[in-house]
Amino acid sequence: MPEGYHPNVAAPGGSINFLWMMAANREREDRQHGVVNVQPDFAAIPSGLDKGRAGSMMHGMDVRLKLEAPSEELRAEFLDMAAGLRRPRRVAVRACFSGFRGLSSATRLGRA
Amino acid sequence: MALTAGSSVALTQADWPHTITVRATGNSPDGRGARGAGAVASRARRARHHAGTCDCTRKDLESDARLRLEGRYGAHRQRHLPGSQYRRAKGRTHAVVPGKTASKYLHYGRIILDAGDAPLRFDTKQLETGLVCLNGSATVRTGDQSFTLDRYDSLYVSRDASIEVAPGAHGCDLAEIAAPVERTYPVQFVSFKSVQQDPGLHLNVGNAPNQRELNILIGKNVEAGRILAGVTFSAPGNWTSWPPHEHAAMLEEAYLYIDMPAPSFGLQLVYTNKNDPELATIVRQDDVC
C-alpha cells in the first residue's frame, strides 16, 4: 500500500487480524507512528482513536500530529483554539484539535 | 467517452484486471460525466500502486478477471497479494521487495521452519531487520546474543549483522521486516507480554463497529531507523484502520493477515478517491497487501 486510505473490515463472525509493517521514507525523521492524515469526510466522527492517541502519547507518539499542523495557518489555529481564542471552523482542524486537547490533558497529567 | 447522466459503461483497464463502471452523475457541464478526470487520475494511481509489482501479461489479467468471477485466484492476484504464493513455503522467502513490488524501502519476508530443521543463517547487510514470531517458537542468535521468540515476540537486529534462526519444538513461523538504513542501531528484544502490559503499546481502540486491539511491537519502544511493526486484532465483524487514514508522505505500509482461520475473511480497501478505489479485495490469512 504505497499510498491511499486503507480501512478494512472483518466478515461477520470472524476477526480481521494483521501484522502491520511500515518503513519510513526518511530515516529517523519520518519514523513516527500514529501521524496520519484522516480522510476529511470522517475526521469529525468519534472513533475511539483519541484513546489510542492518549495512550501512545506516553511514548511520545502523535505529538507531531498535534504540533506539526499541515500549514502555519492551521498551526496558528491550533494554538488559538488551545488558548480559547478561536473556535474550530474546519472539519480537519476540529479533528486535530480533539487530539490537541488530549495532548493538553496528558501534559497536565504528566506535570501533576 | 461521452456519458449522459444516469448512464453507465463498463471499461476494462489494460493495466488492471478489474472492470470499472463509470457513472455519469450529471453535474459536469460538458456532459462527459463528473468522474472523467478522476478516472484518469485513478488509473495513474493504480499504475503507481502496481509500479514494478506486476509483470503480468494481458492474458494473465483477463484470465484473472474471469477467475475472480468464479471465486478463484488468478496469476495476477497471486502476484499482487504475494503472500498467497508463500503461504506455506518452507525456508526463507521474500514477498515485498523494493524494485519488484510497490515499496521503496520496505522489505517483507517469511521464515518457516519445521521442528528439527537445520538452523537458517543469513546476513542483514544494509538492512535493519525486525523478526516477529507468528507461530511456534525460535531461538535467534545474532553476534554473541541469543533470544527465544515465542508468539508475537519480536527482535530488532541492526544492519551488517548475522542472524541464525533455529526452530523450536513445534517449528517456527517468523515475519521478517527490513529496510535499508545508514546508521546502526542496537539489537533489541521485545516480548509480547511486555507490550501487553504497557498502556502506551497495547491499545484498545474504537467502539463497535470499529473496535480493535492494537499492539505496537516495534515502535517508539525500539530505537531504529525506518521500520515499525505491530499486530492488530479486530472485534468480530468490526472495521479497523478507522477512520480511514493514510500516511504516504512519511511511511509506506504493508499488511500481512494472520490468525484468520477459514472461513474467516475480510475486505481490504485502498483508495485516494473513495468512488474509485485502487484496491477493493477479499483478504484471507497469509495474504499480503
- Among the three residues B80, B104, B131, which one is the final residue of a domain in this structure? B80
> Do residues B36 and B62 share a domain?
yes
Q: What is the dihedral sign for C-alpha B180, B184, B185, B186? A: positive
Distance from CA of A104 to the nearest CA of B (A): 17
Task: Choose the closest CB to B250 out of A24, A41, A52.
Answer: A24
Give yes or no: residues B38 and B174 share one domain: no
Are B258 and B181 in the same domain? yes
Q: Across the interface, do B229 and A61 touch by the CB < 8 Å criterion?
A: no
Higher pLDDT, A82 or A30: A30
Residues in B touching A32 (Cβ below 8 Å): 250-251
Q: Mean pLDDT for chain A?
A: 64
pLDDT at A33: 86
A112 touching B, CB under 8 A? no
**Does the CB of A44 have a partner CB in chain B at under 8 Å?**
no
Shared domain for B65 and B171, answered yes or no, is no
User: Å from A67 to nearest chain B CA?
Assistant: 16
Asked whether residue B227 is assigned to any structural domain, the reply reads: yes
pLDDT of residue B87: 55
Q: What would the grid cell of residue A68 be? A: 506539526
- Contact B190/A at CB under 8 A: no
Residue A109 in contact with partner chain B when CB distance is under 8 A = no
B21: exposed, middle or buried (C-beta count within 10 Å: 0-12, 13-18, 19+)? Answer: exposed
Shared domain for B161 and B67, answered yes or no, is no
Q: B122 and B246 share a domain? A: yes
Q: What pLDDT is stored for residue A31 in this prediction?
A: 95
> Do B134 and B72 fall within a single domain?
no
Average pLDDT over residues B58-77: 49
Question: Across chain A, how many H-helices and E-strands are there?
Answer: 4, 3
Q: What is the mean pLDDT of residues B102-116?
A: 95
Q: How far apart are CA B211 and CA A9, in angstroms?
A: 11
Q: Does B83 touch chain A (CB under 8 A)?
A: no
Interface test with B, best of A8, A37, A109 (most B CBs within 10 A): A8
* Residue after which a domain boundary falls, among B32, B64, B80: B80
Buried b (16+ CB within 10 A) or exposed e, B247-260: beebbbbbbbbbbb
Residue B44 shares a structural domain with residue B89: no
Check residue B281 and give its pLDDT: 93
pLDDT in tens, A39-92: 999 887 655 444 434 333 333 333 333 344 456 666 666 556 555 555 555 544
pLDDT of residue A44: 75
Mutation to test the B interface, candidates A21, A49, A53, most B Cβ within 10 Å: A21
Domain CATH for B156 = 2.60.120.10
**Do both B66 and B89 map to the same domain?**
no
Confidence label for B164 from pLDDT (cuts 50, 70 and 90): very high
What per-residue confidence (pLDDT) applies to B224? 97
Mean pLDDT of chain B: 80
B133: pLDDT strictly greater than 60? yes
Nearest-by-Cβ selection for A18 from B225, B250, B256: B256
Rounded average pLDDT over B131-155:
98
Q: In whole angstroms, what is the distance from residue A68 CA to residue B194 CA?
A: 30
Please tell me the distance in Å from A35's CA to the nearest CA on chain B. Answer: 7
Q: Do A23 and B132 touch (CB under 8 A)?
A: no
What ipTM describes this predicted complex? 0.76
Q: pLDDT tens digits, residue range B231-284?
A: 999 999 999 999 999 999 999 999 999 999 999 999 999 999 988 888 999 999
Do B166 and B35 lie in a common domain?
no
> What is d(CA B176, CA A22) in angstroms, rounded to the nearest whole number?
12
B211 and B183, same structural domain? yes
Q: What is the model's pLDDT at position A8? A: 97
pLDDT for B146: 98
Tally of domains in chain B? 2
Within 8 A of B95 by CB-CB distance, chain A residues are: none
pLDDT, residue B229, reads: 97
What's the pLDDT score for residue B19? 33
Q: Residue B20 forms beta bridges with which residues?
A: B11
Residue B1 has pLDDT above 80, yes or no: no
Interface probe, candidates B80, B111, B270, chain A, greatest A C-beta count within 10 A = B270
pLDDT at A12 over 50: yes
Encoded amino acid at B4, one letter:
T
**Residue B153 located in a structural domain:** yes
At B3, the pLDDT band (50, 70, 90 cuts) reads very low
What pLDDT does A67 receive? Answer: 41
Q: Which of B225, B246, B249 sits opposite A4 (nearest CB)?
A: B246
Query: Is it the case that residue B40 has pLDDT exceeding 70?
Result: no
| B15 vs B43: which has the higher pLDDT | B43
Who among B228, B236, B267 is closest to A33 (CB)?
Answer: B228
Q: What is the pLDDT of residue A34?
A: 84
pLDDT for residue A89 = 53
Q: What is the mean pLDDT of residues B51-58?
A: 48
Q: To 10 degrees, what angle do helices A91-111 and A72-82 make?
A: 50
- Can you give the pLDDT at residue A2? 81
Instruction: Please give the residue range of the domain that contains residue B17.
Output: 1-80
Answer yes or no: is pLDDT of B115 > 60. yes
Please indicate whether, in this complex, the C-beta atoms of B49 and A27 are within 8 angstroms of each other.
Answer: no
Is residue B288, in this structure, part of any structural domain at all? no
Residue range B45-70: mean pLDDT, rounded: 51
Domain boundary among the residues B29, B51, B80 is at B80
Give the sheet arrangement for strand B227-234, strand by strand. Answer: B202-205, B212-218, B227-234, A17-24, B251-257
Instruction: In whole angstroms, give the CA distance from residue B187 to residue B156.
Output: 5
What is the pLDDT at residue A106? 31
Nearest to B251 among A17, A25, A27 (CB): A25
With CB atoms and an 8 Å threshold, state whether B226 touches A24.
yes
Residue B159 pLDDT exceeds 70? yes
Domains of chain A, by residue range, sit at 40-111
Is pLDDT of B55 > 90?
no
User: Do residues B75 and B85 share a domain?
Assistant: no
Asked if residue A32 has pLDDT above 60, the reply is yes
Q: Is residue B289 a part of any domain in this protein?
A: no
For every residue of B170-195, which 3-state class applies, written as one string?
EEEEEEEEEEECCCCCCCEEECHHHH
What would the grid cell of residue B201 be?
A: 503499546
